[in-house]
Structure 1
């Protein structure tokens, strides 16, 4: 079974269609269990996650039991275990798309270190394809916010690594396009600015490289109150000299 959390929650049996999990609160309950997969999650915590936007009704505990029963019927195996005051979901390593994304990031980094740039790009494209929207959609707990922020950072890092792989493989135009998109979303990524300036300089687009540095420095000084770091300053120096 594969649980897909990098977007609207879905569960899929191997080689089969997506399972029918009711949207709304049942999906939120399953997302909360999967966030703490393998660990016991207290009833109170599940109730808080399910009724995050308002006070829980007096019937919340009973409703939660109904949602759990529905989830047990939807899942093809005995996945959800209970004990007094808590539930947990059993998930093996690799049965969640997040696990695949984390593993792909590590594999791509190894491929980059080993000079296998096309292999790294292939792995990274497959990893990025796992994202179908906002992770843990509908779950609004402090713990979920922490994991969502981590996954947002991972998503950006995968794109930055893909640009590096494309550049090293000689696919500079693809790398430039990807870096522009990433920086439009997050203009404080200094390493991405440095890489963009390096690739623009290498491809003979020195004027664009210098313009990119001016934009990067303006954003960093305005937002952070500091001058660019060593990597970005070094890329600027190389662009001034016309080398990469």
Structure 2
């Protein structure tokens, strides 16, 4: 089953987005952002930024992986973490070990180190008393979407996946970057810009339309960082809308 939500042009839908936001109710009290490090099984260090509501929990959890050079403090990561936290989610956004080790570092060729990085954050979440173990979502942007999908596909206990600006250009193609799509029955959200050079919308529609999984596609204005012009930042309105779509998806699949 494929659900497609077209959200261009942006202005046409801003009033809808604000109306949805107004209807979400009173936001929970929020804890201050906290930053810490975790050691992976191979001995590398990753940086984790935790955003969660105040209180003992149980909070549904979103584990949010970074892009290749789009780290956990970039605008889309920040906006999504803010909106999820306001909706009552705990968010663990993190930076890859290669980003922590050296400026300008690069991911591993086979992506196994990055899979281990994300699994380390997942293991941490599963040890926390405030985390609702029934509701954990794997999420990521660009490279993070590839790793999030692979961790998600390998772990049946994860509830759903949020894939932000996926990397689906051919080659290597969706079937290589996101394996086991045809066998997946859990919900997923695929969110991208209408002018993203890394993932053409028609390729994503065509491939996901053949899957049995309840995939949702949402398209907003912009390129791979959701900006409308090269070398320009994304508009705040675009980031807010993208984060709202992802937050509503997370709320709908968890029933939160």
Shorter-normalised TM-score: what interval?
under 0.3
More helix by share: 1
Tell me the TM-score normalised to structure 2 length. 0.26
More strand by share: 2
Tell me the TM-score normalised to structure 1 length. 0.27
